[in-house]
Structure 1
Amino acid sequence: MIQPPAEQRVIRVSGLVKDFPNGTRALSGVDLDVSAGETVVLLGANGSGKSTLQKCLTKLISPTAGSVEVLGTEVTTAGKREITALRRDVGVVFQKINLVRELSVLTNVIHGSLGRARSPRNWFASTARSEQREQAMEALERVGLSAVAQRRAEQLSGGQQQRVAIARMLMQRPQIVLADEPVAALDPRAGRAVMDLLWEVTEEQGLTLICTLHQLELARAYGHRVVALRNGQVEMDTVMSQVADEQLEGLYTEEAEHEDYAAAH
C-alpha cells in the first residue's frame, strides 16, 4: 500500500467496514491514504465496494466500523455542521450528470457556488450577483462552453453536459474531487474529451482526485496510482506502470463468470 507522508495526507481510511441491512458486506477492512494533489484511479468489478467507499468519504453512507479522516475532519464521528462544511470542499462528478435540465447552462454552473454563497439570488443566473456570473462564465470558458451559456442544459449533448458538470464543480472551489464513473454513459470520443478535461483542470488547480473507472483502457491511459478493490477489500495499491494487463483483467474475471452463470440459469 502506498503511504504518503502524514503532513501531505488529505484522506486517511483505516479498517473501514460497511454492512448493509440485507446482510451484504460491501467493505471489509479497507485502508487507504491519499496525499494532497494526488490522482487515484479506483478499479474493481461491480459490487467490489468502489462507490460505497467514495460515499463513506463524505458520509453519504455511514460506515459500520473503522475511521475516515478527510481534510482533517474525522468523518465517522462528525456532526451535521462539520459534514456540511466538509462537503463544500469536496466536489463530485457523477456518472448521472444531475444538471437541472430545464435551466440554463449558466444557472447550472452558478449552482456550484451555493455551498459558499447560499443566497437565493444564486438560484438563477438572472438574479445572481455579477461576481457569481463572472466566475461561472470563467468556468464555462475553461471547459470550452461559454458560447452555450444561455442554452437550456437539456439542449446539450451528453459530453457537453458532463463538461458543464465539471464547470459547476470548479465553481464550488473544492480541494478534493470524487468522480464516480464520469464517462460511463458517454461514447468513447466524448469520454476521452471529458477525461482529458477532468485531468487537466485538477492538475492545474492542484486538486486531489479519486476517479472510479470501469473501462480498463481509460484506467491504463489516465491512471498513475491505481487502487483496486475485490469483495470489499483492497486487492492492489500501486503505480499503474507496475501493473500487467493480466492483473487488471483479472479484477473482472469473477464478475464475468457470475454474469455468464446468471445468464445460463
Structure 2
Amino acid sequence: MEVSGLTKVFPNGTRALAGVDLTVEAGETVVLLGANGAGKSILQKSLTRLVEPTSGSVRVLGTEVTTASSGELRTLRRRVGIVFQRINLVRELSVLTNVIHGALGRAGTPRNWMAITARSQQRVEAMEALERVGLAGVADRRAEQLSGGHQQRVAIARMLMQRPEIILADEPVAALDPRAGRSVMDLLWQIAADEGMTLVCTLHQLQLARDYGQRVVALRDGTVAFDSVMSQVPDSWLRELYADEDDGDVPAFVEGLPS
C-alpha cells in the first residue's frame, strides 16, 4: 500500500485527514493507533474507497484507488478482506450460510445465498474456514445464538472465503470483552502469519497496541503523529497522543504514564 498526501474534508468543513503519507509492505502487520476522531477509520476506509478522499493518492495491490473505475474497485475489494467493528452477520441465518456469503464476490450465484443450495465445493471450503477459526461445531446454529466473540470469529471465517491478499480490521474487538478480544486478535495475527498476508488493524486500546503492534502508525488530528516500532515509542508520545480525550475515555495505561 502507498498513501501520499491523503486528505478528507467533509461537507460540513470537518477535516478528518490532513495530508497522510503511509507505505505498507507486503506481508507486514501494522496497527493504526489513536484517540477517537484521530482519522484512523477514515484512513482505512479510504484504502478501498469506501470513503471518497478529497485529495491525494492511494495505491493498493497495484491499483490506483483514487482514480479507479467502478469495475477496478470491485476487483480490488474482492482481494481485500475487511473485518468490521460491527460484525454484520445475518443473525437469523445459520453460521455456515453466513460464511458461504463471503464467496459471493467471486462466485455470485444465487445458490450461495443459502448453505442448503450452495455447491458442495463452497460448503466444504466454508467448513474449512470455520475449522480455522475453531467453530466448525456450530455451523448449523443461527448466528444470533453465538456470543459476540464467536460472531466475530464467524465474520473472520466469512472474510477468509474471499481468499483475500490483505486484511483490513477496523476496531475488530471494540465491542468484545477483554478475553474474547484477545482471542480474536490472536486469531487475526495467526492467520496473517500463516498466510503471509498484509494486515492493517485499527485500534483504540493502547494495551492491545502494546501487545500486538510490532509497527505502530499513530494518528492525531488527521496526521501521522509517529510511525515506529512499538517497543521504541517513549511514554511521552503516547500521553500526547491521547491528551485531548475526556477522562472517561483515556486508557488506564495512559493515565498511569509519567508526565
Normalising to structure 2: TM-score of the pair? 0.94
Provide runs of 4+ in structure 1 moved above 6 Å.
Answer: 257-260
| 2:31 paired with 1:41 | yes
Secondary structure of the residue aligned to 2:116 is coil
Q: What secondary structure, in the 3-state scheme, does the structure 2 residue paired with 1:29 have?
A: strand
Aligned ranges for residues 106-145 of structure 1 at < 5 Å? 106-145=96-135
CA–CA distance in 2 between the matches of 1:59 and 1:15? 15
Question: Deviation digits for residues 102-160 of structure 1, max 9, x if unmatched?
Answer: 00000000011111111110010000000000000000001100000000000000000
What residue number does 1:184 align with? 174
Aligned partners of 1:20, 1:258: CA distance in 2, in Å? 27
What letter corresponds to residue 61 of structure 1 in structure 2?
A: V
The aligned amino acid for 1:108 is: N
Residue 251 (structure 2) pairs with residue 251 (structure 1) = no
Amino acid at match of 1:178: L
- Aligned-partner Cα distance in 2 for 1:259–1:200: 29
Structure 1: distance between partners of 2:116 and 2:175: 31
Aligned CA distance change for structure 1 residues 258 and 107 (closer, same or farther; 3 Å): closer
Report whether the alignment pairs 1:82 with 2:72: yes
The root-mean-square deviation of aligned C-alpha atoms, in Å, is: 1.3
Q: Which residue of 2 aligns with 1:23?
A: 13
1:47-91 residue CA offsets vs partner (Å, 9 max, x unmatched): 111111011110111111100000000010101000000000000
Aligned counterparts of 1:252 and 1:259: Cα–Cα separation in 2:
9
Q: 1:46: Cα distance to partner? A: 1.0
Equivalent residue number for residue 203 of structure 1: 193
Equivalent residue for 1:8? none
CA distance in 2, matches of 1:184, 1:116: 29
What residue is the counterpart of 1:175 in the other structure? 165
Shift of residue 252, structure 1, vs aligned partner: 1.0
The number of aligned residues is 250
Q: Which whole-Å CA distance do the structure 1 matches of 2:232 and 2:207 have between them?
A: 15
Whichever residue aligns with residue 236 of structure 1, its letter is: F
Find the counterpart in structure 2 of residue 226 from structure 1.
216
1:53 corresponds to which of 30, 37, 43:
43
* One-letter amino acid matched to 2:114: F
In structure 2, how many angstroms separate the alpha carbons of the residues matched to 1:35 and 1:51? 20
